Each structure stands twice: as structure tokens, then as C-alpha cells.
A and B are shown apart, each in its own frame.
Chain A
Amino acid sequence: MKAAVLTIPLEDAELVEQCRNGNLTAFGRLVTKHQDCVLNTCWRVCGDRQEAEDLTQEAFIRAYESIGQFAGRSRFSTWVYRIALNLAISARRKDRHRRTHSLDEARCRQEDEPQRPAAERPASSEPAPQDRLLSREEGRGVLAALERLDDESRAVIVLRDVEDLSYDEIAEILDVPNGTVKSRLHRARLALRDQLAKPGDTA
């Protein structure tokens, strides 16, 4: 008999099932598994780290509250992304007038970074100091440019380029067809390119 390849770490579906039975520990495991991704998405969409933490918290609380309604047709991560993204976008809309995103935030967060897999990092993992400085400058410029994009464009760029999700996953999260993701992402990148090209914006 072909032996099944067994991996004891529980899959999301199983953890969700346990959550439905009121198992809070299982939900804790789900939170541990997905909190970084959700936090980064919220951070890049709303632009404020502290607010992103609050939104992440709220997203997981809402997910737990409505886990009975989670049909399991999509992945749990996709579902939480959607909740978080909706929260982040509506929070941003509410606070648009008062939010003044600190461009220095990127510098403050450099200590936490970078969590991307090694394979996705540049070949030289230890950049020279001047390169690092340049990278920071770039980071500020990108943040500022992202800030100026509309919510839809920012969301699609964050999901694709920050979270590295596939078009299908993005389509599911944003609840739009795959083709819409494609065109929206193209427009968003063009807009971002134009924003980045504007002189003096990176300062």
C-alpha cells in the first residue's frame, strides 16, 4: 500500500474545524501562522504601523466571530486577507483627512525587516552601506508613491508585490475576475511608475 506522506502540523482547514468546536488554541495557531502577512498587508495599505496592528487584531477577532460562516471554499488565509483588506481600506477612507504618514516610519522599521524568503532577496545579502542608504531612500520614495495611489491600485500592488500572491488568490480576495486583477495591476504599476518618476517626491 502506498503510505501516505504524513505531516502532523495541522492544515488550516483542520484548525478551522477545531475553531468551530470552540477551540481557542487552534485559532491561536492560525493567528500565529498568518499574522505577519496580514499585518504587512494592513501596514502597506493603511500606511501606519500602529493602525495596522489594530486592524490586524480586529481582522482576526472578526474572523473568529464569523468562523461559523466560513464555508471553506477558499483558503483561510485568503479569507482573512479579505477581512483585513476591507478593514484597512475603510479605515483609510475614514482617516484620509487626518492621516499624515510619517516617512520616517520606514527607517524605524528597518530593524524588523526583512522577512522575505532568501530566494527573493538580491543576490548580495549584505549590501554596501551606500547601497543600504540608497535602498532606504528608495523605500521612502516607494512608500510616498504608494500613498498617492488610489485604494484599489494600492491593494492590488500590495497583494502582488508585497505578499507575492497569485492572480487567482488576489482575484478571490478582491472578489473580482482574474482579468480585472490583470488590468488593475497593470494600471496600478503604471501609476506607481509615474509617481516614482515625479522629481522631488522621494525626499
Chain B
Amino acid sequence: MKNMDEKAQRYEQLTAYLDGELPEEQRREVERLLEQDADAGKLLEELRETSRLVAAMPRCKASPELMASIMGRLERRELLAELEPPRLRGRKTSSLQWVRPLGVAAGMAIICTASWLIYTQTETMVARKASPSGGIAQRNGADKIAPTGASEREGPDNKTVAARPSHRTEGPDLAFGASKQRRSEEAEERNTAAAAAPTDAGKLSRRAQQAAPKSETLMGESLKRDTLATAERPAGTLGKPHLEAADAAKEPPAAVPGRRLDDALAANKLDVGSILEADCDEFSNRIVLQTDQYTAQEITARVKQFMSLREIQDLRTSPSNEPVAETQAFYAVGIEGDPANTASRREEILRWEPIRVVANLSVGDAAKLVESLQQVTRRRQNAQWMANSRPLSGRESVDELAGLMLTFAMKNDAAGGSGTPTAAPNQIRSAAGGAARSGEERFKGERQSNETLGAGNGRRTRPEPAASTTPPATQPAPGDDRFVTLAILLTPTPAPLPPSARSPAREGTPASSPAATQHTETPSEDEDDGQP
């Protein structure tokens, strides 16, 4: 029987061998088996023939009607508003994803608290029965504070501590009393240590530590960690749900409390809520992100993931969880076949001190990045800006806004004018995909009616770069082999952070950073009203 099983197992390898899915060593084993065992060889041939027959079955090609039908259904549903935009659904889902674990955590906390209370009461009752005098004393202590083991908190002056000898001599309660005594002694030591730190955090920490011995025995190590973590968190974060406390306990202290990038970006893209501005001209493009709640590492990872970068290098390794207040991304267009231009551009980028990441990405990808940022800018800031001209309807799509923006940009191009916060260059515009273009076409008719958009919008005007009049001949076509060097510049946050979250080694401040230099070279609106 055993031999049969072994044989069956060996034969099972034949399928994987046939499909080329075996590692080298196992492949050699199977080949040895095939040499020795004629049955194995026969089975292999049968499996091969079976596989061949299935693979030889005809395949069908989807009819054009299938595609039309799918798209038709989706469009109908969108039009009838039966379907929420998937982006919104995703966010809803992501926010709801927290509800379940939160509920579970709350339930667990209730159960733990209840069992803790029951245990404490039982213990108190046992102690009362064992020693009437101690019981009275303990009752007094329990009345004073909370039923969380008064003896531990009250210290050596408490009567409960004085009642210890009675526990020691009580026979059946000996072990119980001894463990209680140990806990009391531990609590005394902790009280002494915690008394040295007279801050609120110290008090909270002390309280948590006082509760710790019981936590160890009743609620386990994790709850103890949570309690301690809660006590050590900054004052503003206290009272947050149980799960957050657990997270804070698990993460390194440098992590910024609050919303995490991955949580916020359930839609798998850059945090749309944090972008201040997307600004670009022909050769130098700048994107400013407000990222005070995320770390450099998180941003780098997210940019990598979002853009599917072909090549990415971390130039400076900084403390990985260093929080940054601002990310500035510059990128310059290099043209393959013009190495001098490319090299000089890269050198220029590398001279900027706080740069962390330099990456190559296609013009299409870069355009997409800019486009996505611009969409956000349009939605969040320019919506306000455009509201000066006319109110936005609730259903106004990003494409429509993009169309309006491009219309306005064209107007500016024609007039050599100014005032648009996101005047996309022709180069980017052309590569930005159908969305913006379709918006442009859709709003061609509105161009004339929007002629007055620039006037009275309250924004400071700025000189429009000459690049905005780039002739269409320079626009990248699909398959264009040009690439873009993306350099992400991270400047440290000036905002005060908890001491545990601060890193001693930091780069220069934004004012002294090369970002500031670049800022003066390419003036833009973020100097005056770019901040939210």
C-alpha cells in the first residue's frame, strides 16, 4: 500500500514534468524514473496526448458585438446613474473595510473588560472570605478607585498590602495570595520608576504599567502593548479607537500617527487630497504635493507602484520613516539620441541636495502623472477658481473640467496671457490621453464663452513660459521613444512632531533647499495661494 502511494506520488510529478513546472532537481529525478520505469514512460505519453488533444480544441474569437454590448451596458448604467463611479465605490469600500475590524476589536475589548471585571470581583470575594480584615481593607480600596486591583495601585501604605501575611498562611489561597503579592511588589517598583516622570504621558504610562500585571495574566501581551502604546502616544491622538492603538504599538515610533498612505490610497493612486499644484512647462515641470502625513519611504513606494517606473534609483537613503512636509517633483524631458542634453539635465537634477529618487519613465507615464495631478488640481483648486466664473454642478466630471482648463490654456496661449494655474504644455497635453483631449473637443464650443475666465479670478498672474507655444510638431506620438527623468525632491517637515517621530539627521529646510532655487527660476502660483 505504501509502495503504491509512493508510486502515485512519483507519477504525479509527471504532469508537472510535462508542463515544465518542476525545479531542476525534481526534473532529474523524474528523468531517472522514466529511464527505470517503463510504466512511467507510458503514462507520460498518455498525459502528453491528453494535453495535446485539449490544446488542439478550436478557440473562438469574441465577436465585435460582445465588446459593444459590454460597453453599451456600462455606458447606459453610467448615464442612468445606476452605477456610482468606481473610484467612489472603491473609497467607500476602503473606508468600510475599517468598520469590521473596528467592530471586532471593540467586541474583544468589551469581552476582555467584562472578564477582567468578573475575575477581579471573584478575586476580591475570595480574598474577603479568606481574610475578613483584609477584605474590608480591600473593599475600601476598591471603593476608592476602580475595580482593577486596588492593592497594586495603592502602594505599601494600603491596608491590602498589610493583609498579605494572612494570605500567606491561608492554605488553599496560598498560591493565589503569592501571585498577588508578586504583582503588588512589581507595581511598587513601577510606581517608583514612573514617579520620576511627572509629565502627563508619564502619568498615563504609569497608569498603563500599573494595569500591566493584570493585563499579562488576563488579557494577554497584546492588550498590554496596546495600553502602553496608548499611553505613550501624543496627547492629540488619545481616545482613538482600539485598533489605532494596536497599530501604534506595532509600528516604529517614527511613523506618523494618523492616516496611513496605503489606507488613504485604497484606490491605488497618489493621494488626491494632498496635491496642491501640478504645474508644468516644456522642459521643467514641477509638481508640489502636500504630504505632511506621509514618510519619504511611503511616497517613494507609492510613486513606484503608481507609475510602474522602468527604472528607479534611491539616491539618498535617509531615515526611512522620516516624515516630510512637502514633496516636490521635478522632471525634465530628455530626448533619446541627444545624450548631451540628457546628461546635463541629469547632472542638474542630481545637484539638488535633498533628492531621493531619480527615475526614468516614459513620456506617456509622465504625462499621465501630470494629468492625474492636474485632474486633482482642477477638481480641488480650480473648481474653486472656476467657481468665480460660474457655479459647478455636482455631476461635473473631471473631463469637463479638464476641457475647460485646456480651453483656458489655449486662450492664454493665443493671448500670450496668464492666470491659469495649470496651463499644460502642448507636449504633455498631447500625450495625456483621450480624456483631456475629449474634454478639449467637448468644450471647444465653450471656448468663446469662457474668454472671460481669466479676468477677475483673483489669482496673481505670472509670465507664461515660452514653451506653452510649442508647435505641434514636437509633440510625442504614441511609440515615441523619448523619456522623462523624474526627480522627486523631499523636504523635511517644519511642523513639530512628537519627539519619537523626529529624526536627528535632516536635510536643509525648504527655504534653503534647491527647491527654493528652482522656485525662483520658475515662478508659479504656489508662492502666494498654493497652500490650502
Q: Known contacts being A20-B267, A20-B268, A61-B73, is A6 close to B481, with CB within 8 Å?
A: yes
A1, A64, A106: the one contacting B57 at CB < 8 Å is A106
A18, A65, A112: the one contacting B58 at CB < 8 Å is A112
Cβ–Cβ < 8 Å partners of B361 in chain A: 4
Main secondary structure of the interface of B (DSSP, over half): helix
> B343 near A: Cβ within 8 Å?
yes
Listed residue (A8, A60, A68) with the most chain B CB atoms within 10 angstroms of its CB: A68
A14, A24, A70, A161: the one contacting B74 at CB < 8 Å is A24
> B334 near A: Cβ within 8 Å?
yes
| Residues in chain A within 8 A of chain B (CB atoms) | 1-11, 13-14, 16-25, 27-28, 31-32, 35-36, 39-40, 43-44, 49, 53, 56-57, 60-61, 64-72, 106, 109-110, 112-116, 120, 122, 135, 138-139, 141-143, 146, 157-158, 160-162, 164, 166-167, 182-183, 185-186, 189-190, 192-193, 196
A73 to B91, CA, bound (A): 17
Chain A residue with Cβ nearest B49: A193
User: Min CB distance, A42 to chain B, in Å?
Assistant: 10
Q: Known contacts being A4-B362, A68-B267, A189-B15, is A40 close to B54, with CB within 8 Å?
A: no
Cβ–Cβ < 8 Å partners of A9 in chain B: 478
A185 to B56, CA, bound (A): 18
Q: State whether A65 touches B86 (Cβ < 8 A).
A: yes
Interface string of B78-106 (1 = CB under 8 A from A): 10000101111111111000000000000
Cβ–Cβ < 8 Å partners of A67 in chain B: 86, 90
Within 8 A of A (CB), among B410-467: 433-435
A11, A18, A53, A160: the one contacting B308 at CB < 8 Å is A11
A7 to B361, CA, bound (A): 10
A71 to B263, CA, bound (A): 12
> B284 near A: Cβ within 8 Å?
no
Question: 8 shortest A-B CB distances, which residue pairs?
Answer: A68-B90, A113-B58, A161-B54, A4-B310, A4-B360, A186-B15, A6-B362, A115-B59
Within 8 A of A (CB), among B316-374: 334, 336, 339, 342-343, 346, 360-365, 368, 372
Cβ–Cβ < 8 Å partners of B360 in chain A: 1-4
> B37 near A: Cβ within 8 Å?
no
A2 to B483, CA, bound (A): 10
Cβ–Cβ < 8 Å partners of A22 in chain B: 85-87, 397-398
A43 to B85, CA, bound (A): 30
> B67 near A: Cβ within 8 Å?
yes
A61 to B337, CA, bound (A): 44
Interface string of B284-318 (1 = CB under 8 A from A): 00000000000000000000011010110000000
**Interface bin, chain B:** 35 or more
Cβ–Cβ < 8 Å partners of A1 in chain B: 334, 339, 342-343, 346, 360, 485
Q: State whether A157 touches B54 (Cβ < 8 A).
A: yes
Cβ–Cβ < 8 Å partners of A27 in chain B: 71, 74
User: Min CB distance, A25 to chain B, in Å?
Assistant: 5
> B146 near A: Cβ within 8 Å?
no
Cβ–Cβ < 8 Å partners of A68 in chain B: 86-94, 266-267
Chain B residue with Cβ nearest A2: B311
Cβ–Cβ < 8 Å partners of A138 in chain B: 53, 56
Q: State whether A23 touches B266 (Cβ < 8 A).
A: no
Cβ–Cβ < 8 Å partners of A31 in chain B: 67, 70-71
Chain A residue with Cβ nearest B89: A68
Cβ–Cβ < 8 Å partners of B88 in chain A: 68
Q: State whether B59 touches A113 (Cβ < 8 A).
A: yes
B16, B56, B63, B480: the one contacting A6 at CB < 8 Å is B480
Q: State whether B74 touches A4 (Cβ < 8 A).
A: no
